Amino acid sequence: MIHAAIIGATGYAGAELVRLLGGHPEVEITGLSSVSFAGQPIADVYPNFKKKALPVLTDEDTAIQGADVVFASLPHGLSEPLAEKCAAQNTLLIDLGADFRLESEADYEEWYKKPFDKPELHGGAVYALPELFRDRIKTAGIIANPGCYPTAAALGLAPALKNGLVQTEGIIIDAKSGVTGAGRGLTQNTHYPETNESISAYKIGAHRHTPEIEQTLSHMAGVGIKLTFVPHLLPVNRGIEETIYVKLKDGVTMDAVRSAYVEFYKDEQFVRLEKDGNVAQIRCVTRSNYCDISLHCDKRTGTLIVCSCIDNMVKGAAGQAIQNMNIYFNLPESMGIDALPAGF
């Protein structure tokens, strides 16, 4: 059995890790940490865990003792010192935060307003989006779990960019997310009266996932990419839908585009292409590790329109982290995360 600890277990992503790992046949949860609820059973915070044998919430140092893998679901800036502790005891860290996602310290400092505190650790970190970088994961010292918006964007655009079917300038990503993406702490814009029966853009042109999206898409395209990314808040608990606009290169047909996507994802269990005429929908991926993609074209302007949907708490966070753990430990990739979407 793999002994797993979850740091930040009472946040939304942390609780989703508890839910999914609690049903994983090769994992025993041996440590759970929380600053706010230390000393309490996690079922006191999330009653859905009643009658499930789980460790009592404790401090970080106690939780990671004896763990084979530590999942960190923490705000940025807190995972680097944890990574140092994990390295000292030869434990794999899977970081669901932002500390190890960006390759450039200058980019991190620009967008997160702080330098790398422990730059020596970053050389062993791998940005781990399985469908794109699977081969790197097995040798990782630290696994940087991708962000939710970047996951949907990268999976939505990778085949088109990798195959040189689209222009690399002028890409627009219009993204919408459920309110769990904002975390468990209450703010005015996530308060029920502010989100119910409404939709609003936020952090327009300034969202911290922008450099991560650009970094991954640049790797796919083989050239540097700058794009426009605008997220919106939806009045739903979970789910992300991204509508992506990118210009087709001259002479590229939709048949060629579809063929490239079919070939690129033919062996990927968790990426599903919609049939022509169908549209990817959030409700069809809810509580699952799937990414649904639909392909469309505005023939008047030569624009490829890609709709990409994931559950931000699963494929966008906890499920993808477990997928990465499975790869690292040579387990079947879908183990513990192969549940079908709820559908409603």
Catalogue the active-site residues: 148
Q: Are 318 and 289 in contact (CB under 8 A)?
A: no
Q: How many CB atoms lie within 10 A of CB 79?
A: 30
Separation CA 142–CA 70 (nearest Å)? 10
CA distance 105 to 288: 33
Q: How far is CA 90 from the centre of its chain?
A: 25
Residue 36: burial class (beta carbons within 10 Å; 0-12, 13-18, 19+): exposed
Listing DSSP states for 54-100 in one string gives -PPEE-HHHHHTT-SEEEE---TTSHHHHHHHHHHTT-EEEE-SSTT
Number of other CB atoms surrounding residue 235 within 10 Å: 14
Contact between 165 and 257 (Cβ < 8 Å) = yes
